[in-house]
Structure 1
Amino acid sequence: MTQSTEQGTIWLTQDAYDKLAAELDHLKGPGRQEVVARISAARDEGDLKENGGYHAAREEQGKLEGRIRQLEDMLARAEVGETPQNDGVVEPGMVVTYKFVGDDDDEAETFLLGAREIEPEGLTVYSPQSPLGSAINGRTKGDTVTYEAPNGKQLEVVIVDAVPYTG
């Protein structure tokens, strides 16, 4: 899992760092080779102006190179850290359960406070820079927090729980 903790630094667990590094290695090696082979094969088919396979492979190459640059940047700015302590304090790397003031407990919602680079299956991720994320970051289980939603409305939530993400 990843979380941006401040402008420019991305906090990663060791597992997340290893997964992103493995993806980068694959893209720079076999991934690039596969795309180059498809471009070469399509080029051999003749007229490039009307060659859909060639243009699709070139577009895929652009996306691959963009992802490589993104991963290189993230890993260069990464700070590998430990899973946060289980102390009820909301911080990047915590799974947070909250509810709106006045809602029943069964209406509580849960999310991971982090960045979307590695979004765990079945768990929504909110950035620490999002309106809710920035309002609750550093707060504690049981706190009531007011924040401004993107539509300008003031919302009030109660932090029901905050536990370290262990996935």
Structure 2
Amino acid sequence: MSEHKESTGLADEVRDRIAAELDRLRQRRDRLELEVENDRGMVGDHGDAADAIQRADELAALDERINELDRVLRAGPVSNGDGTLPEGTEVTVRFPDGSVVTMLVISIVEQTPVGREAETLTAGSPLGLALAGHKPGDTITYSTPQGENQVELLDVKLPN
């Protein structure tokens, strides 16, 4: 049985997860917005001011994430005209410890199939960006917050 996809190219399960995440983020945003409004005109020490600034920053980040997910629901994932691997690509890599993993390239984290978190790779992640433009047999070095890593690209299957 094939999964129904909307005109945006998102499977129903993915759309539902994004919609649930949007609902959660909007609820958090509403609560935070009340706190930020209460911060205005409040007189306090530097600690209070720092907390108010942190809440305002979090509010801005929530707005940005809500807008991004809203756009994905309306228009679908961003196209990969930016040199990233296309969504739906399967890559097989060998890590330095010898483990071989086949991963599915996705555009946004919310597209991760439940239970397959270790088998998905976002196109914009450090590894996803590093793999773009390489062919099987290449050894790729990429940077992460934990330091440099290296993989050998064993196979690339582009989506139909």
Classify 1:126/1:25 alpha carbon distance in 2 versus 1 (closer, same or farther; 3 Å). Answer: closer
Identity of aligned residues (%): 21
Classify 1:157/1:57 alpha carbon distance in 2 versus 1 (closer, same or farther; 3 Å). Answer: closer
Match of 1:132 in 2: 131
Classify 1:134/1:14 alpha carbon distance in 2 versus 1 (closer, same or farther; 3 Å). Answer: farther
Matched, 1:159 2:151: no
Secondary structure of 1:122's aligned partner: helix
Deviation of 1:121 after TM superposition, in Å, equals 3.0
Q: Does structure 2 retain, via aligned residues, the 8 Å contact 1:17–1:75?
A: yes
Q: Mind listing any 5+ residue stretches in structure 1 that lack a counterpart?
A: 1-8, 80-90, 137-144, 163-167
Alignment of 1:1-167 (within 5 A): 11-28=9-26, 30-43=27-40, 45-46=42-43, 51-78=49-76, 92-93=87-88, 96-99=91-94, 107-118=99-110, 119=112, 120-127=116-123, 130=129, 132=131, 145=136, 157-159=153-155
C-alpha distance after superposition, 1:62-95 (max 9, x if no partner): 111111111111112127xxxxxxxxxxx74465
**Structure richer in strand, relative to its length:** 1
Between structure 1 and structure 2, the one with the greater Rg is 1
- Give, in whole Å, the separation in 2 of the partners of 1:56 and 1:131: 33
**Structure richer in helix, relative to its length:** 2
Deviation of 1:115 after TM superposition, in Å, equals 2.2
- Give, in whole Å, the separation in 2 of the partners of 1:48 and 1:10: 49
Q: Which amino acid aligns with 1:36?
A: E
- Give, in whole Å, the separation in 2 of the partners of 1:130 and 1:52: 36
Deviation of 1:19 after TM superposition, in Å, equals 0.8
Deviation of 1:12 after TM superposition, in Å, equals 2.5
Q: Which has the higher contact order (CA 8 A, sep 6+)?
A: 1
Secondary structure of 2:54's aligned partner: helix
C-alpha distance after superposition, 1:99-147 (max 9, x if no partner): 59xx9xx5423322222423553335052984635667xxxxxxxx466
Aligned residues: 127
Classify 1:45/1:33 alpha carbon distance in 2 versus 1 (closer, same or farther; 3 Å). Answer: same
Secondary structure of 2:25's aligned partner: helix
- Give, in whole Å, the separation in 2 of the partners of 1:10 and 1:131: 27
TM-score for both structures, normalised by structure 2: 0.55
Q: Mind listing any 5+ residue stretches in structure 2 that lack a counterpart?
A: 1-6, 78-85, 143-150
RMSD (CA atoms): 4.1
Q: Which amino acid aligns with 2:109?
A: E
- Give, in whole Å, the separation in 2 of the partners of 1:47 and 1:98: 55
